[in-house]
Amino acid sequence: MIFAKHLSPRGRGARIHLNQVKQHSNILFTRAFFSPMQRKLFTSIARTIGAVALVAAAAFTPIASANDEEGKLLFLKGAAPACAICHTLEAAGAAGAVGPSMNELQPDAARVLNALKNGIGQMPAYTSLTPEQMKILSEYVAKASRE
């Protein structure tokens, strides 16, 4: 058998089989080179970093609002004719084939609102929608097309 001699910081040696070194290198490293107090400090630092990362990830995760759900419903069936008949929007599960894909076009809310109010090309103006519904729908399309 092949053994390796390992010296700890305190000068004590230990005979360790090389397979043990390969299999348990992380355990040997932490136990051999760091005191219990240092290990405790490193562990608390790692836990703090992990907690900060989780909080930061949660803070930057977009939260779906009630307007998102209402906008999706307007896109799928609330407007007459429904936007989903012509336009593709992956977030809404729509696969229209006539109009441009909202995922490729990625329009901003003002552009969508203008198209809803005035129509564009073959798309009619949506006079049956209230100004509030138009605003909700345009913001939803702008946001969902970028997801």
How do residues 46-97 score in pLDDT, each as one tens digit? Answer: 888 888 887 777 666 555 566 788 888 888 888 888 888 888 888 888 888 8
For the chain, the structural domain boundaries read 3-59, 66-144
Look up the CATH number of domain 66-144.
1.10.760.10
3 state SS of 43? helix
Name residue, tokens 């407007």: 79
Q: What pTM did the predictor assign? A: 0.55
CA 15 to CA 120: how far, in whole Å? 80
Phi, psi at 68, each rounded to 5°: -60, -45
- The answer to whether residue 6 scores a pLDDT higher than 50 is no
* pLDDT tens digits, 93-122: 888 888 888 888 898 999 999 999 998 888
Contacts of 108 (CB under 8 A, 6+ apart): 142
